[in-house]
Amino acid sequence: MPSAGFDSLPLSMAMNLSTLGEFGLISHLARMTPSRGGGVVLGIGDDAAVVKGPKGMNLLLAACDTVIEKIHFEKGASGKEIGWKAMARNISDIAAMGGLPRYALVAATLPRSLLKGRALAIHQGILKAAKDFGIMVVGGDTSHHSGGIHLTVTILGEVHPRHLLTRSGARPGDVVCVTGSLGGSIYGKHLAFTPRMEEARFLARSRFKPTSMIDLSDGLASDLMRLAEQSGVGFEVHAESIPISTEIARRHQRFDDRVRHALADGEDYELLFTVKPGDFSQLQKSWKRRFKLPVTMIGRVRPRSFGLKLLSDGRTKAIKSRTNDHFLD
Amino acid sequence: MPSAGFDSLPLSMAMNLSTLGEFGLISHLARMTPSRGGGVVLGIGDDAAVVKGPKGMNLLLAACDTVIEKIHFEKGASGKEIGWKAMARNISDIAAMGGLPRYALVAATLPRSLLKGRALAIHQGILKAAKDFGIMVVGGDTSHHSGGIHLTVTILGEVHPRHLLTRSGARPGDVVCVTGSLGGSIYGKHLAFTPRMEEARFLARSRFKPTSMIDLSDGLASDLMRLAEQSGVGFEVHAESIPISTEIARRHQRFDDRVRHALADGEDYELLFTVKPGDFSQLQKSWKRRFKLPVTMIGRVRPRSFGLKLLSDGRTKAIKSRTNDHFLD
């Protein structure tokens, strides 16, 4: 799409980020940004960028993401957890594209008062994730400031064009699936999750290759909305089918509360994907032979006009994304 | 080199970053980080990482760098200048490797109170640099915090293996050269510099291909030290030959002050390189036909045992890097 240019933007320049919201800003920036040509297969708008390698060779994937003290982790998080999380979020993005992570660059902006032991523990967390997923840390940048810990990780990966999974291929009738269970990541999982790399690679290479896939970072509701937008479809989600985490099940007795957490909590880092209507039962059989992690059918893709609806006890209601908008927290 | 591991590090874990210094931290982190295998040609320690493309194809370059409010620019800087600088610093790193920049990812952490007009102006600065240097912005991340503007840009580029320039090839006897003039970047250039892409590409492809090259980001003294370390050599620099910027010449009458600024100010974003002894005069002729920007011989490569010395008025003194160490400011 051509750059929309500064002047044509509809929102007032006097809005600040709290009013505008991160998603609003990103979509505006994306509209301003040229996205065709130069070997770009997919620019802004999916889990990772995709650029063409030389003819016949693998596509290059690139994703980047920042974790910030007091937003993505609290002071009590260990250095290793922080480093792991900064890496794992990006690895999860590469997984969601069907790719393999290869290289990482780490830009660390650290408090001047940070103890060296903590800086090194962060780096150990980074290196642990790198080792576990076969990634080489090839570069980065270190600076200081008066605020908290900021880590920006860029991960480069690769994917064979046949195995590329995007957000844009869901079609009405497809089955909507999710791995693992959702909600309550704040009780620990958000610092210690395992990116679903093996599961994603299995899906990308299987006979049941998903028609679309995304990793659940901002919450089922928000990420469904992204899939809906990019695929130009609607979704019907069956509340009773949503797999609820034990953290949430233990803490909440009311069904509605459980579902609300599963939809809105975010940072599940599970895979949300769609497969062709006939494929799910075979996929599930094949899956169970390989993985302990459950895979669950939670709904159906519908036409765009249907919107995003939750079916519960025979009634439907609209799913609103909590926006999980960092600027609106 | 193998990972040195946490326990074997000589410095006390109780040192904080102010004591340890950024360079100290980076070299420790680099020592902890596996750097062989997996297609890595050059990991941490040069202007950009170099990884192997498929056989016979170009190498992939990756560089990443953060600019931070109050450290790399003041509140008075325009959004466009900030965006430009964040991109241009990385473009300069790709240039210093002899490469061509291709793709950028931008991670922006912005103050919640930032006006939308300023956010968009930053993005315009990013896009202007992208357009001028043929780069596609393919991804990124936006978040907010209570501090100032942080922009981390990752640039991916490519270089033919024959044209790759690193920090490690300087040999005793080589001539030391610098483009442009040095010092006083704080008076404006640091926000508006042009990465020396054309000049670097010319050098990388010419008969006078440098034996080593680096871009001057932290100041001539610091960056000479880096070349010295990576190449395992010493340097003799002729004070009278150092090209002094008009900003410094206008503000300082004393020769020593001028040289001090040229050595220590940093953010010149000129190219510092070494060529074989016989090549300089031919290179200069060829250069003058193409570029208005001057290229100047400022010294000689010496054996490592010589150290880093400034020759002035027949006397020598040791060059100490101002450390320009962000943690020691």
Token representation of residue A314: 């025979």
User: What pLDDT is attached to residue B48?
Assistant: 75
Which of B17, B93, B325 is the mutation pick for testing A, counting most A CBs within 10 A?
B17
Most confident of A226-230, A269-273, B311-315: A269-273
Using 50, 70 and 90 to split pLDDT, how confident is the model at A142?
confident
Q: What is the pTM of this model?
A: 0.87
**Mean local confidence (pLDDT), A30-34:** 69
B80 close to B122: Cβ distance less than 8 angstroms = yes
Proportion of chain B above pLDDT 90, given as a percent? 70
Q: What are the DSSP calls for B162-230, one per residue?
A: GG---SS---TTPEEEEES-BS-GGGTHHHH----HHHHHHHHHSTT--SEEEE-SS-HHHHHHHHHHH
Q: Is B192 on the interface with A (CB under 8 A)?
A: no
Contacting A residues, span 16-45, partner chain B, CB-CB under 8 Å: 16-18, 20, 22, 25-26, 28-29, 32-35, 37-40, 42-44
Are B37 and B1 in contact, with CB atoms under 8 Å apart?
Answer: no
The region of weakest confidence among B59-63, B83-87, B189-193 is B59-63
Using a 10 angstrom Cβ sphere, with 0-12 exposed, 13-18 middle and 19 or more buried, the burial of residue A168 is middle
Give me the residue label for tokens 């109780």.
B14
- State the DSSP string of B152-171: EEEEEEEE-GGG---SS---
What value of ipTM does the predicted structure carry? Answer: 0.86
Average pLDDT over every residue of B126-146:
90
Q: Inspect the interface and report whether the beta carbons of A145 and B33 lie closer than 8 Å.
A: no
Statement: residue B4 has pLDDT above 50: no
Report yes or no: B282 and B290 within 8 Å, Cβ to Cβ: no
CB of A297 less than 8 A from some CB of B: no
pLDDT confidence tier of residue B80, bands split at 50, 70 and 90: very high
CA dist., res. B56 & res. B209, Å (int): 21
Gap between the Cα atoms of B68 and B129, Å rounded = 18
Task: Report chain A residues whose CB lies below 8 A from the CB of B152.
Answer: 64, 66, 107, 141, 152
CA distance B269 to A118: 33
Chain A touched by B78 (CB under 8 Å): no
Task: Give all strands of the β-sheet with A308-312 in edge-to-edge order.
Answer: A212-215, A271-275, A175-179, A295-303, A233-238, A308-312, A315-318
Virtual CA dihedral for B184, B230, A131, A178, nearest 10 degrees?
A: 30
Q: Which of A42, A116, A215, A324 to mutate to test the interface with B (most CBs of B within 10 A)?
A: A116
pLDDT of A28 reads 66
Q: Is the pLDDT of residue A7 over 70?
A: no
pLDDT band at A6 (very low <50, low <70, confident <90, very high): very low
Calculated CA dihedral for residues B10, B15, B16, B18, nearest 10 degrees: -90
- Residues B193-213: what's their mean pLDDT? 96
Classify burial at A256, counting beta carbons within 10 Å of its beta carbon; exposed 0-12, middle 13-18, buried 19 or more.
exposed
The pLDDT of residue A30 is 67
| pLDDT at residue A329, as a whole number | 27
Residue of B136, B324, B325 for testing the chain A interface, max A β-carbons within 10 Å = B136
**Residue B287 — φ and ψ, nearest 5°?**
-60, -50
The average confidence (pLDDT) of chain B is 86
Question: Mean pLDDT, chain A, as a whole number?
Answer: 86
**Of B59 and A272, more confident:** A272
Answer whether B25's CB lies under 8 Å from A101's CB. Answer: no
B71 CA to chain A: closest CA distance, Å? 8
- Nearest Cα of chain B lies from the Cα of A196 at a distance, in angstroms, of 21
At A233 the pLDDT is 97
Residue B23 has pLDDT above 70, yes or no: no
Q: Do A48 and B139 touch (CB under 8 A)?
A: yes
- Chain A hits for B137, CB-CB cut-off 8 Å, are 33-34, 43-44
Alpha-carbon distance of B291 to B42, in angstroms, equals 30
Which carries the bigger pLDDT value, residue B58 or residue A20? B58
Residue B184: is its pLDDT beyond 50? yes
Residues contacting residue B138 through CB under 8 Å, at least 6 positions apart: A40, A42, A43, A44, A49, A51, A62, B103, B104, B105
Q: Which residue of B has its CA nearest to A5?
A: B124
- Report helix, strand or coil for B264: helix
User: Tens digit of pLDDT for each residue in B215-272?
Assistant: 999 999 999 999 999 999 999 999 999 999 999 999 999 999 999 999 999 999 999 9
Q: Which residues contact residue B157 at a Cβ distance below 8 angstroms, ignoring those fewer than 6 apart?
A: B48, B60, B61, B62, B63, B94, B97, B99, B100, B101, B102
Asked whether B230 and B167 are in contact (CB, 8 A), the reply is: yes
pLDDT, tens digit, for every residue of A170-195?
A: 999 999 999 999 999 999 999 999 99
Amino acid (one-letter) located at B163 = H
CB contact under 8 A, B143 and A326: yes
Q: Quick check: A162 contacting B, CB < 8 Å?
A: no
Of B38, B68, B141, the CB nearest to A102: B38
Other beta carbons less than 10 A from residue B238's beta carbon: 15
Q: Do residues A235 and A220 lie in contact, with contact meaning Cβ atoms separated by under 8 Å?
A: no
Q: Which of B287, B303, B286 is nearest to B295 (CA)?
A: B287
Parallel, antiparallel, or unpaired for β A295-303 and A212-215? unpaired
Facing residue for B137 by CB, picked from A33, A110, A156? A33
Following CA atoms B8, B9, B13, B17 in sequence, which dihedral angle do they give, to the nearest 10 degrees?
Answer: -160
Region A97-101: mean pLDDT is 93
CB atoms within 10 A of CB A81: 19
For position A116, what pLDDT does the model report? 82
The 10s digit of each residue's pLDDT in A313-329 is 889 999 976 543 333 22
- pLDDT for residue A297 is more than 80: yes
Cα first-last separation, chain A: 31
Using CA atoms in the order A158, A163, A169, A175, what is the torsion angle rounded to 10 degrees?
Answer: -130
State the residue for tokens 């803490």.
A251
Q: Which residue of B has its CA nearest to A24?
A: B116
Flag if B141 and A65 touch (Cβ within 8 Å). Answer: yes
The lowest-confidence range among A239-243, B60-64, B137-141 is B137-141
Least confident of A4-18, A106-120, A157-171, B22-36: A4-18
Q: Which of residues 215-254 of B touch A (CB under 8 A)?
A: none
The nearest alpha carbon in chain B to A134 belongs to B38
Q: Which of the two residues, A16 and A264, has the higher pLDDT score?
A: A264
For the segment B137-162, what is each residue's pLDDT rounded down to a tens digit?
Answer: 888 888 889 999 999 999 999 888 89
Per-residue pLDDT, B188: 94
What number is the average pLDDT over the span B53-76?
85
Whether A306 has a pLDDT exceeding 50, the answer reads: yes
Q: Is B1 on the interface with A (CB under 8 A)?
A: no
Strand partners, A218: none
Looking at residue B198, its pLDDT comes to 97
The rounded distance, in Å, linking the Cα atoms of B64 and A105 is 7
CB contact under 8 A, A127 and B37: no
Q: What is the mean pLDDT of residues A210-228?
A: 95
Q: Region A14-19: what's the mean pLDDT?
A: 51
Model confidence at B323, in pLDDT bands (50, 70, 90)?
A: very low
Is the minimum CB–CB distance between A1 and chain B shorter than 8 Å? no
Q: Do A127 and B3 touch (CB under 8 A)?
A: yes
CA distance B44 to chain A (A): 5
A12:B113 CB<8 A: no
In residues, how long is chain A? 329
pLDDT over 70, % of chain B: 83
Q: Which residue has the higher pLDDT, B33 or A129?
A: A129
Contacts of B299 (CB under 8 A, 6+ apart): B175, B176, B235, B236, B237, B238, B241, B311
Q: Which of chain B's residues have a Cβ under 8 Å away from the Cβ of A18? A: 112-113
Chain-chain contact of A63 with B139 (C-beta, under 8 angstroms): yes
pLDDT value, residue B71: 92
Q: Are A136 and B34 a contacting pair at CB < 8 A?
A: yes
Task: Give residue A55's pLDDT band: very low, low, confident or very high (50, 70, 90).
Answer: low
Is residue B47 predicted with pLDDT exceeding 50? yes
